[in-house]
Every structure is written in structure tokens, then in C-alpha cells.
């Protein structure tokens, strides 16, 4: 059985940690061995954040090698290209179309790359760019961006039964936000 590697990236505060928790939980429910690694501490302070999620029959290292990721799930466009080289040549980038400017860009000393989906395509990297943040705002809370993106991701993970995603969301999300997040997942699923 092959190992599936998903690299999640984004900006501290965007909710990548909950998303990686949900993926790991679903993979475990689906009967896989699972490992996940991420760095805490800076996560709330606007820095670049990354989580590695790996599942399969038996997983040794919690870290994905360069060229091993099946999917890079990016919460922000610039982060998508920062981590794209972790992908297999036939891997895929799924990115939220949001742009969050690093301090050097907002202060005018550096430029944010233009047209990131086009850069990916020019690099022969398969990519899906979705307005997940727009969808989340439409649903009334930009914080559910992470679950919208999970809905998109779920399409690409046929080895995980789609029922499991909702089961995990029900277990991991606080009751008062459950409805919102279930809607967010469906919205993401419809976007893909």
C-alpha cells in the first residue's frame, strides 16, 4: 500500500492546525497509520506555517521529503509557491486565492509575485485555485476557510470515505460552530 503525503501551508492564524487535525483523524478512522508534524509557537504571529500529514500502512518519519507530497494544500497564494517543491512531479497544488502580504511587501520593499496560478501552470504543476475565503465570508465567518478547503481536498482523497469527513467535523468542531462548518465543507466539495 502506498503512502499519501499532504503538506498544508499558510499564514499563522489561518486555521491550518484544525485542518491538519481533521485530515489525520479521518485517515485514522479509515484504518491507516498516520503521522503529523507541525511547528507551534509562531503560529499565532503571522509567520509562514506548515503541517505535514502522512498516512498509509506504516509511517516512519513524520516529515515529508521533497518530491514526496501528493498534495500541497495552501491557505494563501504566496505560501503555495513557497512549498510547491515538496510536490511529486505529478502532484497537485490546491490553493485558496487569498493574498496576505508579508511585512516586506506591505512596507513596499519587496513585490508580491503576480498571477501565482499562472506561475504554477508555467512550472507544469497541476493546480486548483479556489476562492475559499470568499466562500467562507459568504457563509458568514472567514474562520471556516479551513473547512471549505477540506471540502475541496476531500475530492482528491478517494481512499477516505466521504462520510468520515463529516463524522470528524462533528467530533472536532465546537457545537455552536458545527452547522457553519458542515455547510463550509459542502461548499468546498461543490467548489472542486
- Residues at the interface with another protein (CB under 8 A): 11-12, 24-25, 28, 33-42, 44-48, 59-63, 65-68, 78-79, 81-82, 84-89, 91, 100-108, 110-113, 119-120, 122-125, 142
Decide whether 88 or 163 has the Cβ nearer to another protein: 88
Q: At 183, is the secondary structure helix, strand, or coil? A: helix
Supply the minimum distance, in Å, between the C-beta of residue 156 and another protein.
16
Which residues make Cβ contacts (< 8 Å) with residue 100, sequence separation at least 6? 11, 14, 76, 78
Q: For the chain, how are helix, strand and coil distributed in percent, rounded to 5?
A: 45, 25, 35
Supply the minimum distance, in Å, between the C-beta of residue 155 and another protein.
20
Alpha carbon dihedral 18, 91, 31, 152, in 10-degree steps, equals: 50
Supply the minimum distance, in Å, between the C-beta of residue 177 and another protein.
14
Decide whether 110 or 167 has the Cβ nearer to another protein: 110
Decide whether 64 or 147 has the Cβ nearer to another protein: 64
Instruction: Please tell me the distance from the alpha carbon of residue 88 to that of residue 5, in angstroms, as a whole number.
Output: 10
Decide whether 161 or 190 has the Cβ nearer to another protein: 161
Supply the minimum distance, in Å, between the C-beta of residue 141 and another protein.
13
Q: Return the DSSP state at 182.
A: H
Amino acid at each position: 500500500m502506498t503512502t499519501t503525503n499532504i503538506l498544508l501551508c499558510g499564514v499563522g492564524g489561518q486555521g491550518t492546525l484544525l485542518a491538519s487535525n481533521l485530515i489525520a483523524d479521518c485517515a485514522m478512522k479509515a484504518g491507516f497509520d498516520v503521522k503529523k508534524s507541525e511547528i507551534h509557537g509562531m503560529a499565532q504571529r503571522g509567520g509562514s506555517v506548515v503541517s505535514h500529514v502522512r498516512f498509509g500502512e506504516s509511517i516512519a518519519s513524520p516529515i515529508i521529503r521533497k518530491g514526496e507530497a501528493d498534495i500541497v494544500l495552501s491557505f494563501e497564494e504566496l505560501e503555495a509557491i513557497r512549498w510547491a517543491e515538496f510536490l511529486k512531479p505529478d502532484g497537485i497544488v490546491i490553493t485558496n486565492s487569498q493574498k496576505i502580504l508579508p511585512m516586506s511587501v506591505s512596507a513596499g520593499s519587496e513585490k508580491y509575485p503576480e498571477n501565482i496560478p499562472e506561475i504554477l501552470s508555467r512550472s507544469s504543476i497541476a493546480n486548483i485555485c479556489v476562492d475559499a475565503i470568499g466562500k467562507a465570508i459568504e457563509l458568514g465567518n472567514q474562520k471556516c476557510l479551513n473547512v471549505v478547503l477540506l471540502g475541496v481536498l476531500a475530492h482528491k482523497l478517494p481512499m477516505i470515505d466521504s462520510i468520515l469527513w463529516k463524522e470528524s467535523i462533528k467530533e472536532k468542531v465546537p457545537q455552536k460552530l458545527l452547522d457553519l462548518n458542515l455547510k463550509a465543507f459542502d461548499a468546498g466539495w461543490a467548489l472542486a
